Each structure stands twice: as structure tokens, then as C-alpha cells.
Amino acid sequence: MGARPAAGEPDSKISVFRLDPDGSRAERVAATFGKASVNEIHVISGLEPGDRIIVSDTSKWSAYDELRIR
């Protein structure tokens, strides 16, 4: 289980932004989710244990595959 992204629906496949180790960049990756609660969601594929993702609404950056974090 991990923190549930804003667009993370149960039994869905969406793209999320995964942070690099130092948190200065985020790249778009496809992730598949399973069962969910209000705050958490089961990650089936696309992310590894310890990966950090942006869970807030990222729809205004939908045209980008990579973000620089300041």
C-alpha cells in the first residue's frame, strides 16, 4: 500500500510523477493500482518499494514527461 494519488482510482492504470532520489526532478511513469482506501492504494506494477511519487493533482502538467522540482 502507498499514498493514494489524486487521480488514483481502484483497479486502474494511470501515469504518475516519480521523484528521483534527491527530489530535484520527477519523471512520468505508468503505474497500475488495485484496491484502495480513502488515503492508500495497492500498487500492482510500475513502482518499486521506496519510490516517492507526487500524490497531489498534477493535471496542469499533463503535457510534460519530466518536472524540475524547486
Q: What pLDDT score does 5 carry?
A: 78
Q: Which of 2-16, 21-35, 54-68 has the lowest mean pLDDT?
A: 2-16
In the block, cell 497500475 appears at 32
Which three cell numbers, joined as nine digits, stand for 21?
A: 532520489
Query: Tell me, what's the pLDDT at 39?
Result: 86
Domains of the chain by residue range: 2-54
CA separation for the pair 6, 34 (Å, rounded): 15
Q: What percentage of the chain exceeds 90 in pLDDT? A: 70
pTM of the model: 0.86
Asked whether the predicted pLDDT for residue 6 surpasses 80, the reply is: no
| pLDDT tens sequence across 8-33 | 788 899 999 999 999 999 999 999 99
